[in-house]
Amino acid sequence: MFSSRLNWHAGTNPIAQALARRVSPYLDLTQSNPTRAGIDYPVAGIVSGFGDARMLHYAPQAFGLPAAREQIAALHGVDPQRVVLTASSSEAYAWLFKLLADAGDCVLAPRPSYPLFEYLAALESVRVDYYPLHYDHGWFIDCAALEARITPRTRAVILVNPNNPTGSYVKRDELERLGAICRRHGLAIISDEVFADYAITEDERRVPTLAGFGDALTFCLNGLSKLAGLPQMKLGWMLAGGPDASEALHKLELIADTYLSVGAPVQFALAALLAARVPVQAQIRERLQRNMAALRAGIERAPGISLWPPEGGWYATLQVPRVRSEEQWTLDLIEKHGVLVQPGFYYDFEREAFLVVSLLTSPDIFDEGMERLVAAVHAAG
């Protein structure tokens, strides 16, 4: 009776089971929900944005209301005709997979990266293949390996800029090579830029955005979820550009018109929500810097832990001794030390043992949690 798009019977993993068993509270170093991270939101400004009576009239528009699209276009310096509003960046992926791929076709995604791609693609009957990111004093894209993964069924390359959880940005020389590869093989680029405003360090070699990139059909994804720390508002967008963008938009219009998923209230409130992003981003940036400093200070005392420093984004990757598996590290930290981290295998790191922590975590929890993590590594010898 049911489809086989997903493995519906995967069950809960041992880490979720350990958390469910735990009766006493624990320190959550994985908090990536900004509305639960002690950020002070400009409440009055946000709420006042929802007072516009025009939202009571239903006037459907496939790509969203022109006024809302114009604001997003102004934010990114692009033509409003190139802006497509969606309910989230996850929905943007779903629409792009429908646009670019038939069932059984393939998209290339970075590894390690965000685990949701597997599900987003499977739900469209699309396969994901992976190209490697390697680390050598910094992360880089293995462009030769990426090109070697391309088959006649490959339709698009996903870039996550900066990537989750490595925090690495695409560099100019990498983009030049990727553009040439995509041109050679007729592939589109999907550039996920949801963390683009959260640089932790500066580097001239980075590509801050692919908006305006002309070498391949390109879709830049972003949304209020990370950009304004407002995931509950459910507003994302994509910017279409490069060769064939007009044809892509023409076809996307049919997809968007089939769903009409973006609500009117959030579109009328957009100016207030974009205004709110200024103080919200300032607090998040300060938090990222603060927790990075605490992390560096904490692991200075812990020779067993090394930091693979993020260039941007909300996460930090720690390498810990391979005296036990990532799963065992994570279970021990929950059960014996009352600390929750993410094991590297959630993101498909090339090898063990890595742990990922969220830099968005409230400082008191972060400091205490890091202290316990350092003590756990020390005790493991």
Ligand X SMILES: Cc1ncc(COP(=O)(O)O)c(C=O)c1O
Which residues sit at the interface with ligand X, rule CB under 6 A?
Answer: 88-90, 114, 160, 164, 192, 194, 223, 225, 231, 236
DSSP letters spanning 46-93: HHHTT--GGGGS----TT--HHHHHHHHHHHTS-GGGEEEES-HHHHH
Q: Which is nearer to ligand X, 189 or 377 (CB)?
A: 189
Q: Which is nearer to ligand X, 167 or 298 (CB)?
A: 167
Alpha carbon 284 to its chain centroid, in Å, reads: 15
| Residue 112 C-beta: closest distance to ligand X, Å | 12
For strands 218-223 and 188-192, give the pairing.
parallel
| Residue 322 C-beta: closest distance to ligand X, Å | 27
Q: Which is nearer to ligand X, 236 or 242 (CB)?
A: 236
Orientation angle between helical segments 14-21 and 326-337, nearest 10 degrees: 0
| Residue 158 C-beta: closest distance to ligand X, Å | 9
Q: Which is nearer to ligand X, 154 or 161 (CB)?
A: 161
DSSP letters spanning 266-279: HHHTHHHHHHHHHH
Which residue blocks in the chain are alpha helix, DSSP H?
A: 14-21, 43-48, 66-76, 89-100, 116-122, 143-149, 172-185, 224-227, 245-259, 264-268, 270-300, 326-337, 363-379
CA-nearest of 312, 15, 282 to 165 is 312
Q: Which is nearer to ligand X, 88 or 168 (CB)?
A: 88
- End-to-end CA gap in the chain: 53
| Residue 282 C-beta: closest distance to ligand X, Å | 21
| Residue 190 C-beta: closest distance to ligand X, Å | 10
Which residues, at least 6 apart from 250, have a Cβ–Cβ distance to it below 8 Å?
A: none
Q: Which is nearer to ligand X, 231 or 321 (CB)?
A: 231
| Residue 149 C-beta: closest distance to ligand X, Å | 20
